[in-house]
Amino acid sequence: MKLKIGLAQMDTVLGRGEENRRRFQELLEELAGEADLVLFPETWNLGFYPQKVSQLAEGEGETTKSFVAGLARRHRVNICAGSIAEGEDGKLYNTSYVFDRQGELIGCYRKIHLFTHGKEHHHFSAGSRPGLFTAEGITWGQLICYDIRFPELARTLALAGAQVLLIPAQWPYARLHHWRTLLMARAIENQLYVIGVNSCGTMVGGRKACGHSLAVDPWGEIMAEAGEGEETLLVELDLARVEEVRREFGVFTDRRPQLYALEEDTFL
C-alpha cells in the first residue's frame, strides 16, 4: 500500500486564531488534491504560546475542531490538525485531533510530556494516554514536539502496531540539530516512517520556530525536508517498506524485554 502525506509548515501568529485558521485553509488547499493525509504544526491555532493563552483557548477549541472537521469533509482528506490549545473543565490541554475524509473525529491525543524548560506545565495539563488511531487501513501513532525526547513512548506506539508516527512541533532554531537527529533516531530504532511538521512562526519571547519539517523512512533516510519559511511538501509512503526493513533487520524479534526491568540483583 502507498499513501501520500502532506506536510504543512505554517507561519503561526501568536494569539491570532482567526488569522491562523485562514492560513491553515490556504495551506490545506495546496495539498488536499493529492494528499491522503495532511499534518500541521503544534498549537497552530494560537502559537506557542501567547499571553492569556488560557482565556483565548477556552473558546478556541470547539471553534477550531468544527473548522477542521468541515475542511476534511469538504476536501475529502484526512487531517491531523497538528495540535491546538484547548480548554476543558477548567484545564488547558495541548491536543492533537485527527479527522477522516468524512469529517469524523478518529484520533485524539493530549501531549503527555510537557516542556518544563519552557514552563509549558505552568499553563497546560498533561495527557495520560498514548495516541493511536486507524485510517486508510493502517495504524498511526501520535507524538507532540517534546515527546520525541522520550524513546519509550515511540517504542510503545510501534509495539502497538504503528507504521507511521505523526509529530507536530514548535521547535526553535537553538535546537535544530536535536530536532533532525531525534526524528531520524525514532525512525531507525522503531523501523517505521516518521513525519515531523514544525512551525516557522514566532514563539513566546520573540524566538522563531526553525521550520525544517521532515519525512524520514524506516531506514532513517530523509525523504523530504522543508526550509526555514512557510512551505508545503508531499511525500509518498510505501508501507511495504516497514515490513521489509523489520524482516531484514530483526530488531523487534531480537528484543529481550524480560531483562529490561532493573532488579536489586541485576548487577553483580
Residue partners of 92: CB distance under 8 A and separation at least 6:
53, 54, 57, 85, 86, 123, 124, 125
Angstrom distance (rounded) from CA 190 to CA 194: 10
Of 80, 86, 120, 145, catalytic: 145
Most confident of 53-57, 124-128, 198-202, 233-237: 233-237
- Identify the band that residue 50 occupies on the pLDDT scale cut at 50, 70 and 90: low
Active site residue 42: yes
CB 197 within 8 A of CB 165: no
Inside any domain, residue 257: no
pLDDT digits (tens, 9 = 90+) for 177-217: 999 999 999 999 999 999 999 999 887 777 888 999 999 99
Inside any domain, residue 210: yes
pLDDT digits (tens, 9 = 90+) for 90-143: 888 999 999 999 999 999 999 999 988 877 887 889 999 999 999 999 999 999
- Identify the band that residue 267 occupies on the pLDDT scale cut at 50, 70 and 90: low
Q: How far, in Å, are 13, 57, 60, 235 from residue 34 at the CA level?
A: 27, 32, 29, 10
CB 38 within 8 A of CB 80: yes
What is the CATH number for 176?
3.60.110.10
Of 60, 65, 80, 111, catalytic: 111
Inside any domain, residue 193: yes
Inside any domain, residue 238: yes
Residue partners of 245: CB distance under 8 A and separation at least 6:
191, 218, 219
Say if strands 222-225 and 138-142 run parallel, antiparallel, or are unpaired.
unpaired
Considering the chain, what is the average pLDDT of its residues?
92
Residue partners of 146: CB distance under 8 A and separation at least 6:
111, 113, 114, 115, 120
Inside any domain, residue 136: yes
Inside any domain, residue 6: yes
Inside any domain, residue 265: no
How many domains in the chain? 1
Active site residue 91: no
Active site residue 111: yes
Comparing 45-54, 100-109, 198-207, 243-252, the range with the smallest average pLDDT is 45-54
For residue 181, give its domain range. 2-247
CB 113 within 8 A of CB 150: yes
Inside any domain, residue 253: no
Q: How far, in Å, are 92, 145, 185, 221, 230 from residue 150 at the CA level?
A: 22, 10, 11, 21, 28
Of 42, 60, 120, 231, catalytic: 42
Does 90 or 53 have the greater pLDDT score? Answer: 90
